[in-house]
Homo-oligomer: A and B are copies of this chain.
Amino acid sequence: MARWEPNTSERLTEAAMELFAERGYGQTTVQDIAARAGLTERTFFRYFTDKREVLFGGSHEFQKTIVDAVRSAPKSIAPLDAVVDAWASTSDFFERRRAFARKRNALIASHPELQERELIKLTTLAAAIVDLLKQRGTSSAAATLATEAGLAIGKVGFEQWIRDPKDRSLTFHLNAARRQLEAVVGKGKQAEAEGSSKRSA
Contact = CB atoms under 8 A, between A and B. Distances in A.
Interface of A: 76-81, 84-85, 88, 116, 119-120, 123, 141-142, 144-146, 148-149, 151-153, 155-156, 159-160, 171, 174-175, 177-178, 180-192, 196-200
A154 to B, nearest CB: 10
B148 A199 contact: no
A80 B184 contact: yes
Interface secondary structure of A, over-half rule: helix
Nearest to A160: B141
B123 A184 contact: no
Contacts of A88: 199
A197 B180 CA distance: 17
Contacts of A177: 141, 145
Nearest to A151: B148
B145 A184 contact: yes
B198 A85 contact: yes
Contacts of A192: 81
A144 B149 contact: no
Q: Tell which of A78, A184, A190, A200 has the most Cβ of chain B within 10 Å.
A: A184
Contacts of A84: 188, 199
B185 A182 contact: yes
A80 B152 contact: no
Contacts of A178: 188, 199
A175 B200 contact: yes
A199 B184 contact: no
A156 B181 contact: no
